[in-house]
Amino acid sequence: MFMSSISETVAFFLGGLSTMPAVRTFSMMAGLAIFCDFLLQITCFVAILALDSKRQNANRFDCVCCIKVQDKEPTENDGILYRLVKNYCAPGILSRCFRPIAVCLFVGFACFSGAVLHKVEIGLDQSLSMPEDSYVLNYFDGINNYLSVGAPVYFVVKEGQNYTNPDEANQICGGTGCNNNSLIEQIARMSKMPNYSHIAYPASSWLDDYYDWLKPQSSCCRYSTTNATETFCNATVVSDACTPCRSAEESAQSSRPSPEEFIKFLPWYLNDNPEMKCAKGGHAAYGSSVKMISEGNTSQVGATSFMAFHTVTKTSKDFIGCLRHANEIADQISMNTTAEVFPYSIFYVFYEQYLTIVHDTIFNLGVSLAAIFLVVFLLLGFDLLSAIIVVVTILMILLDMFGAMYLWSIPLNAVSLVNLVMAVGISVEFCAHVARAFAMSQRRTRVARAEEALAEMGSSVLSGITLTKFVGIAILAFSKSQIFKVFYFRMYLCVVLLGASHGLIFLPVLLSYIGPKRRRGQGKHQALHDESAKLHNDDAFSRNIMNESDPLRTRVVGGNVPVNH
């Protein structure tokens, strides 16, 4: 109990190193719960057993302790399950014919699980959060079938880009004079490969539209001067007092405004509503895309965004693909320009975790396995081979869990990762007891030691760990929640079945082939212990014969000595 409990506790606490909040919270709570459970088992539970033992010795009922029955001779009763495992299961599993078949079956399924490991889906379908009879499922089906549209994606340029500088502006814009590798041009090229980039349309550029808005031919940017105050004139205003922001001569000399003109007219552009005479007004499309920073009497452009659209997304795989490729496009833009760019869309906050889910899974499971190896190695007396065998068995259980997830359509996400971390802890219970019993066995051959370990510990593992968990798991099968059915009933059932089969079949068979040798000196110590126990029993039996005050004494009649226990 100490070895298995400490292994699980350390494994779960190390799982708290995960960067995923759900996994970290579960690991810390599970580690604390198991440690407190262990303390209660060796203190409170033992005390209750001692009281119950006194009740049994006093021949009192368990429910009505005040009633005492007549004295009965105690009888030995090993239990049906213990006799079944000892007399039938252990010899059958470790028979010469079954052992190679068992190895082939377990190794074969492990190879299959490894082959389909990369095919396990990643993500969480939002429809699984609804009950099976919920009307929202029909809504989701209608959205997918009739109203599927791509979500907008914003490529955000962080603060620091100087748009009044022609060289830096050319790295962003997409019109005449702009660089071939500008932000707008790179997004436009990606939109021509929607199956790969998940970008459906080119990004709209406030910068290019602003340049067009400033042209005198557009009649969009005009102002009037009253009492030395310049007032913006909308395109609908018909007045001789309104003059263009830039004259035709200035526009002919340079199509770009000067730095002073750029900052001066930009707030007017961002507040101008588009209309028939001036469709380039930026209030509707870019009112929230440009952040102006004012410092005293000066202003500058802060962070800005350029909006494009993703392709149609329906499944978690589509959403994750959009997010991944948007990050790749942003990184590529940042490498080819001086701008620091990152993508944003409304669904990114829900799918950001899946970009690192594989790394988090490897890290958490790897750390848990390493902790179990270290604890088993230390508590089994630096038995390296036993620790390796236990870890290999748990690793095969995890690998088969992924195979079961593929066959049962269980995706990998924060919920299933929590269950996988839990599977590591539960697997210790199936393996540690049998491995320790094998290491402590004093029989001569590996097969005999494995049979003894399975016979002694198999019934305890089967009744105390396997069968008891089926009660709670069976209740989950009747739940209407799809999350409970998929991620709890199916995964818990796989954990128990795979853990029990590996711990009670594969592990004893593996120990019978490559288990650690019998420890030196223990055979002689066991023989002395057995001889001492025999002499002690003989002496106690003699005293029982001669003691007239003993109520259970045995009388010798006619040379026959019946032995009463």
Confidence check: pLDDT of 483 > 50: yes
Taking phi first (over 0 means left), then psi (-120 to 50 degrees means alpha), and beta for anything else, what does residue 143 get? alpha
Predicted local distance difference test score (pLDDT) of residue 521: 54
- Split at pLDDT 50, 70, 90, the class of 72 is low
Predicted local distance difference test score (pLDDT) of residue 527: 47
Residue from 259, 341, 358, 345 nearest 303 by CA = 341
Please state, in angstroms and as integers, the Cα–Cα distance from residue 117 to each residue in 109, 133, 198, 318, 366, following that order. 12, 32, 25, 20, 16
Confidence check: pLDDT of 556 > 50: no
Q: Tell me which range, 122-126, 302-306, 524-528, is most confidently predicted by mean pLDDT.
A: 302-306
Q: Tell me which range, 66-80, 122-136, 246-260, 439-453, is most confidently predicted by mean pLDDT.
A: 439-453
Q: Helix and strand tally (H, E) in the chain? A: 25, 8
What is the average per-residue pLDDT within 468-490? 84
What is the average per-residue pLDDT within 524-531? 48
Whether 14 contacts 367, CB under 8 Å: yes
On average, the pLDDT of the chain sits at 85
Predicted local distance difference test score (pLDDT) of residue 157: 96
Predicted local distance difference test score (pLDDT) of residue 73: 61
End-to-end CA distance of the chain: 31
Q: pLDDT tens for residues 104-151? A: 999 999 999 999 999 999 988 888 878 888 888 888 888 888 877 789
Distance, in Å, from the CA atom of 496 to the CA atom of 165, rounded to the nearest integer, reads 66
Could you list the beta-strand ranges (E) of 271-379. Answer: 290-295, 298-310, 341-344
Predicted local distance difference test score (pLDDT) of residue 550: 42
Predicted local distance difference test score (pLDDT) of residue 425: 84
What is the average per-residue pLDDT within 275-289? 90
- Split at pLDDT 50, 70, 90, the class of 74 is low
Whether 241 contacts 224, CB under 8 Å: yes
Could you list the beta-strand ranges (E) of 351-443. Answer: none
User: What percent of the chain stands above pLDDT 70?
Assistant: 90
Confidence check: pLDDT of 200 > 80: yes
- Split at pLDDT 50, 70, 90, the class of 304 is very high
Predicted local distance difference test score (pLDDT) of residue 411: 93
Predicted local distance difference test score (pLDDT) of residue 542: 45
Count CB-CB contacts under 10 A for residue 191.
18
Which H helix or E strand runs over 225? strand 222-226
Tell me, what amino acid is at 227? N
User: With the C-alpha atoms ordered 175, 176, 181, 186, is the resulting torsion angle positive or negative?
Assistant: positive
Whether 400 contacts 452, CB under 8 Å: no
Which H helix or E strand runs over 210? helix 206-214
Enumerate residues 6+ apart whose C-beta is below 8 A from 110: 396, 399, 400, 403
> Which residue shows structure tokens 């962080």?
158
All structural domains of the chain, each given as residue ranges with its CATH number in brackets, are 2-72+81-115+356-519 (1.20.1640.10), 150-353 (no CATH)
- The two beta strands, 243-244 and 222-226, are antiparallel
* Global pTM value: 0.76
What is the average per-residue pLDDT within 193-208? 94
Confidence check: pLDDT of 537 > 70: no
Predicted local distance difference test score (pLDDT) of residue 178: 92
- The two beta strands, 152-157 and 341-344, are antiparallel
- Split at pLDDT 50, 70, 90, the class of 256 is confident
Taking phi first (over 0 means left), then psi (-120 to 50 degrees means alpha), and beta for anything else, what does residue 123 get? left
Burial of 468 (0-12, 13-18, 19+ CB in 10 A): exposed
Predicted local distance difference test score (pLDDT) of residue 410: 92
User: What percent of the chain stands above pLDDT 90?
Assistant: 44
Q: Tell me which range, 14-18, 473-477, 510-514, 525-529, is most confidently predicted by mean pLDDT.
A: 510-514
Predicted local distance difference test score (pLDDT) of residue 88: 84
What is the average per-residue pLDDT within 26-39? 90
Confidence check: pLDDT of 306 > 70: yes
Whether 342 contacts 158, CB under 8 Å: yes
Residue from 339, 314, 494, 478 nearest 416 by CA = 494
Whether 313 contacts 118, CB under 8 Å: no
Q: Please, which residues bridge with residue 230 across strands?
A: 225
Taking phi first (over 0 means left), then psi (-120 to 50 degrees means alpha), and beta for anything else, what does residue 343 get? beta
> Which residue shows structure tokens 């580690």?
31
- Split at pLDDT 50, 70, 90, the class of 546 is very low
Confidence check: pLDDT of 158 > 50: yes
Predicted local distance difference test score (pLDDT) of residue 478: 84
What is the average per-residue pLDDT within 334-343? 94
Q: Measured at the alpha carbon of residue 213, what is the angle toward residues 212 and 216, in degrees to the nearest 5? A: 90
Whether 312 contacts 151, CB under 8 Å: no
